[in-house]
Amino acid sequence: MGKLTTHVLDTAHGRPGAGVKVALFAVTGEGKQLLKMDVTNADGRCGTPLLEGDALRPGQYELVFNAGDYFAELGVELPTPRFIDLVTIAFGIANPQENYHVPLVVSPWSYSTYRGS
Protein backbone atom coordinates (compact mmCIF):
# COMPACT_ATOMS: atom_id res chain seq x y z
CA MET A 1 0.00 0.00 0.00
CA GLY A 2 1.10 3.53 -0.71
CA LYS A 3 1.24 6.59 1.47
CA LEU A 4 1.00 10.38 1.26
CA THR A 5 3.80 12.43 2.82
CA THR A 6 5.02 16.01 2.68
CA HIS A 7 7.79 18.26 3.89
CA VAL A 8 8.64 21.94 3.79
CA LEU A 9 11.93 23.41 2.55
CA ASP A 10 12.59 27.05 3.50
CA THR A 11 14.65 28.47 0.62
CA ALA A 12 14.92 31.91 2.23
CA HIS A 13 17.00 30.48 5.08
CA GLY A 14 18.37 27.32 3.44
CA ARG A 15 16.88 24.87 5.93
CA PRO A 16 13.86 22.67 6.63
CA GLY A 17 10.64 24.50 7.47
CA ALA A 18 10.08 23.43 11.09
CA GLY A 19 6.82 24.34 12.80
CA VAL A 20 4.70 24.88 9.68
CA LYS A 21 1.00 24.12 10.17
CA VAL A 22 -0.33 21.76 7.49
CA ALA A 23 -3.94 20.80 6.74
CA LEU A 24 -5.05 18.02 4.38
CA PHE A 25 -8.46 18.12 2.72
CA ALA A 26 -10.34 15.69 0.48
CA VAL A 27 -12.09 17.59 -2.32
CA THR A 28 -15.37 16.25 -3.73
CA GLY A 29 -18.34 17.65 -5.62
CA GLU A 30 -19.91 18.49 -2.27
CA GLY A 31 -16.93 20.53 -1.07
CA LYS A 32 -13.91 19.95 1.14
CA GLN A 33 -13.50 17.63 4.11
CA LEU A 34 -10.67 18.15 6.59
CA LEU A 35 -8.81 14.84 6.94
CA LYS A 36 -5.82 15.78 9.06
CA MET A 37 -3.94 18.68 10.61
CA ASP A 38 -0.27 18.47 11.55
CA VAL A 39 2.81 20.59 12.23
CA THR A 40 6.18 19.92 10.62
CA ASN A 41 9.03 18.71 12.82
CA ALA A 42 12.65 19.92 12.98
CA ASP A 43 13.34 18.14 9.67
CA GLY A 44 10.44 19.98 8.01
CA ARG A 45 8.40 16.77 7.78
CA CYS A 46 5.21 15.54 9.37
CA GLY A 47 6.02 12.80 11.88
CA THR A 48 3.71 10.26 10.26
CA PRO A 49 2.21 9.87 6.78
CA LEU A 50 -0.77 12.11 6.13
CA LEU A 51 -2.59 9.13 4.60
CA GLU A 52 -1.67 5.47 4.28
CA GLY A 53 -3.24 2.05 3.89
CA ASP A 54 -7.00 1.99 3.32
CA ALA A 55 -7.23 5.74 4.03
CA LEU A 56 -5.27 6.50 0.83
CA ARG A 57 -7.92 6.52 -1.89
CA PRO A 58 -8.08 7.80 -5.45
CA GLY A 59 -9.38 11.35 -5.62
CA GLN A 60 -8.65 15.04 -5.41
CA TYR A 61 -6.92 16.52 -2.39
CA GLU A 62 -5.55 19.82 -1.12
CA LEU A 63 -2.64 20.49 1.19
CA VAL A 64 -2.74 23.91 2.86
CA PHE A 65 0.49 25.20 4.42
CA ASN A 66 0.48 28.22 6.74
CA ALA A 67 3.68 29.71 5.33
CA GLY A 68 2.85 33.29 6.30
CA ASP A 69 2.69 32.53 10.03
CA TYR A 70 5.87 30.45 9.75
CA PHE A 71 7.88 33.35 8.30
CA ALA A 72 6.30 35.88 10.68
CA GLU A 73 7.29 33.72 13.67
CA LEU A 74 10.88 33.74 12.39
CA GLY A 75 10.82 37.53 12.47
CA VAL A 76 10.82 38.01 8.70
CA GLU A 77 9.49 41.46 7.82
CA LEU A 78 6.37 40.83 5.73
CA PRO A 79 4.03 43.28 3.99
CA THR A 80 0.36 43.62 4.92
CA PRO A 81 -1.29 41.76 3.38
CA ARG A 82 1.34 39.04 3.08
CA PHE A 83 2.44 38.17 -0.45
CA ILE A 84 2.67 34.45 0.42
CA ASP A 85 0.36 33.40 3.26
CA LEU A 86 -1.65 30.20 2.96
CA VAL A 87 -0.18 28.01 0.22
CA THR A 88 -2.68 25.56 -1.25
CA ILE A 89 -1.46 22.67 -3.38
CA ALA A 90 -4.28 20.88 -5.20
CA PHE A 91 -3.35 17.42 -6.47
CA GLY A 92 -4.83 14.07 -7.40
CA ILE A 93 -4.14 10.52 -6.30
CA ALA A 94 -4.75 8.02 -9.07
CA ASN A 95 -3.18 4.84 -7.70
CA PRO A 96 -3.29 4.27 -3.93
CA GLN A 97 -0.67 1.53 -4.27
CA GLU A 98 1.96 4.18 -5.05
CA ASN A 99 3.70 6.62 -2.72
CA TYR A 100 2.88 10.30 -3.13
CA HIS A 101 5.33 12.79 -1.65
CA VAL A 102 4.20 16.42 -2.08
CA PRO A 103 6.85 18.82 -0.76
CA LEU A 104 6.60 22.60 -0.51
CA VAL A 105 9.67 24.64 -1.43
CA VAL A 106 8.91 28.13 -0.11
CA SER A 107 10.16 31.63 0.65
CA PRO A 108 8.17 34.75 1.57
CA TRP A 109 8.07 35.60 -2.15
CA SER A 110 7.70 32.31 -4.03
CA TYR A 111 6.89 28.63 -3.79
CA SER A 112 6.95 25.45 -5.84
CA THR A 113 6.19 21.78 -5.52
CA TYR A 114 6.82 18.52 -7.30
CA ARG A 115 5.78 14.91 -6.99
CA GLY A 116 8.39 12.90 -5.16
CA SER A 117 8.20 9.32 -4.01
Q: How far is CA 67 from the centre of its chain?
A: 10
Neighbours of 101 (CB within 10 A): 15
Question: Exposure string (b/e) for 80-90, b if CB count within 10 Å is 16 or more?
Answer: eeeebeebebe
- Residue 114, marked binder: yes
70 known ligand binder: no
Residue type, 31: G
List, as residue ranges, the binding site: 7, 45, 114
List, as residue ranges, the binding site for substrate: 7, 45, 114
